[in-house]
A and B are shown apart, each in its own frame.
Chain A
Amino acid sequence: MRAILVSKWTKVAIFIFCLMPFGDLVWRIIKSDLGANPVEYLQHATGDWTIRFLVFTLSITPFRKLLRLPDLIRFRRMLGLFAFFYVSLHFLTYLGPDQSFDLSAMWKDVAKRPFITVGFAAFVLLIPLAITSTTGWIRRLGGKRWQLLHRSIYVAAVCGVIHYYWLVKSDVRKPLFYGALVGILLLWRLGNWFFKKGSAVAAKLSAQRAPANSSQ
C-alpha cells in the first residue's frame, strides 16, 4: 500500500483525475453541450467542484489517522490547489459574464449581497493558502505559523457551504449534503483536539500525581 502511495505515478494519476472535471467542461464548451444556460452550467459546475475539492482536502488528515496511512499527506497540497483552481474559475465565471469584468460593479455586488459576500470571502481566504502552499513558504513561515494560517480553510469551507445554501431557492438537499460532510470533517478535528487535550491534561495530572504519591 505504501509503495502505491509514494509512487510518482500515483500522483500523476491523481493529477489527471483532478483535471477531468475541467477537461469535461472544455469538451462541452467545444461541443457547445452546456445546456440552455451555458454560463450557469459553468458557474454551477466550477462551484460544485470547488466544494468537492475542499472536502477532499479536508478528508486527508482524518483518513491519514483513521486508516493509519500517513503517506496520504503527499496528495493534500495538490487537492487543495485544485480547490483553488476551481474556485478561481468559479470566480471568473462571476466576474466575466455576470459583472462584465467591471470591478466597481463587482465590489458593489460583494458589499450588498450576503450570498456573494460569503462566497467572495471564501475565495479571498484561499488566496494566501494557495500562495504559501510551497515548501519554501512552509520553511519561511515555520511549521506552527504555517499550520495556523492554513486552518483558514475551515472558515473557507464553511463560507462555501453557506454560499451554496443561500443560492438555492427551496431544495436544500445539496448544500445540506456538503454542509454535513464539512461538519463531520470539522467535528472530527474538534473531537481529536479535545481528546488530545484531554489526554495531555491526564498525562500532566498523572505526572504531577506520581511524584506526589511517591513522596508520601
Chain B
Amino acid sequence: MLIRKAPDLTYADITPRSVYLDRRKFLRAMGLVGATAAAGKGLFDLAWPPETALAATQFSGLIKSPFSTTEKQNTLNDVSHYNNFYEFGSEKSDPAKNAQNFKTSPWTVSVEGEVKTARKFTVDEILKLAPLEERIYRHRCVERWSIVVPWIGFSLSVLLKLVEPTPKARYVAFQTFYDPRQMPEAKYGGIDFPYVEGLRLDEAMNPLALLCVGMYGETLPPQDGAPVRMVIPWKYGYKSIKSMVKIRFQEKEPPTTWNRYSSSEYGFYSNVNPNVDHPRWSQAKERRLGEIFTRNTVIFNGYGDQVASMYNGMDLKKFH
C-alpha cells in the first residue's frame, strides 16, 4: 500500500516540464560548448556563467490561496540575498554566495517513525501529491526583521495524512540535509548540525503549515532551502526548516537546534509573540525589509485566527 488517495494529476505536467527545461538548457549548453570549444573554457564561462546552470524552473497554473496576505511583497532579490542558513555561513549575505553549488537533485525526503507507511518521497513525487498553491505569507525572524514572500507549495497535512500516523505519533521532527564537504562554513556557525526542528502533530496538521517547493513562481533558490522546505508563518523563521531530508513522527517532543543551543532564548514553540521578549532583545517590534522604521509585531504573526486555538490554556511565556 503506497498511496491510498489518488493524487490530483492536474499538475502532473510540472515535472515533465522541468525535466524538459533542464534538457533544453543542457542541449543549449552543449551546443555552446561545441561552438566555443576552440576558444577555450574561459570564453565558455564568460558566455554562459555557471550560475545559469542552477537557474530556477517556472511553475505554471498556481492556485491562489485564501491564506495569502495582500501586503506588499519583498523582492526576490532581497529574499534570496538576505538569508539565515548557517550551513552556508552565518552572515546574511553568505548563503547566496556559498550555496550556489549545493546539489539539490536527486533528492529524497524520508518519512518515518510512528506511521503505518514509512516511505521515501522524491521531489517529483512530492510535486504530484497536491495542486500547487501560491501562498503569500508574512515571515518574521527572531532577529526582528520580517518579509512578505509568495511561497509555493501545499499544506504539509496532505503528506502527513498520506503516510497515516499511528496513535502514538504526537510530534513531528524535521531534519535538514547536512554534508560538511558541501557546507564547509557550517563548522563556524556555533550550532550543531544536522539542523533539526519539530512541531506538535496538531501544529504540523494545521493547514497554514506549508510544505514549500518554490517561491516567486519558481523553484527555490538553494540559499532559500531548495528543493523542499517548511514554512510555518506564525512562528519565528528558524522553525521553517530548509532543505529537508527527513520527517519523523514520534511520541516525545523532538530536540530542536536553537533550543538545544540556548533553551532560555529559543523555545520549542517559538510562536511569534510581541509580549514574550528574547532575553537579550525586545520582540515588540520588527523591521520589514525595505523599511527604515520599525512596526509593531503582532501575536502569532497575525495568524491568530487560524492558530491561536491550538494554544488555549497554555502559558505562552512558559512555553515560549
Contact = CB atoms under 8 A, between A and B. Distances in A.
Interface in A90-133: 96-98, 100, 109, 112-116
Given A37-B82, A97-B287, A171 B189 contact: yes
Nearest to B261: A170
Contacts of B92: 35-37
Nearest to A167: B280
A169 B143 contact: yes
A69 interface: no
B283 to A, nearest CB: 12
Contacts of B282: 109, 112-113
A170 B280 contact: no
Contact of B280 (A36, A100, A113, A172): A113
B190 A97 contact: no
A35 B82 contact: yes
A171 B191 CA distance: 8
B270 to A, nearest CB: 14
A38 B291 CA distance: 9
B78 interface: yes
Contact of A170 (B74, B93, B190, B294): B190
A164 to B, nearest CB: 12
19 contacts: A35-B82, A36-B74, A36-B78, A36-B82, A38-B292, A39-B287, A97-B287, A98-B294, A100-B293, A112-B282, A113-B280, A114-B280, A166-B280, A167-B280, A170-B189, A170-B191, A171-B86, A171-B189, A171-B190
Given A36-B79, A170-B190, 9 more contacts: A36-B289, A37-B145, A40-B287, A100-B293, A113-B282, A115-B281, A169-B90, A170-B191, A172-B190
Interface of A: 35-40, 96-98, 100, 109, 112-116, 166-167, 169-173
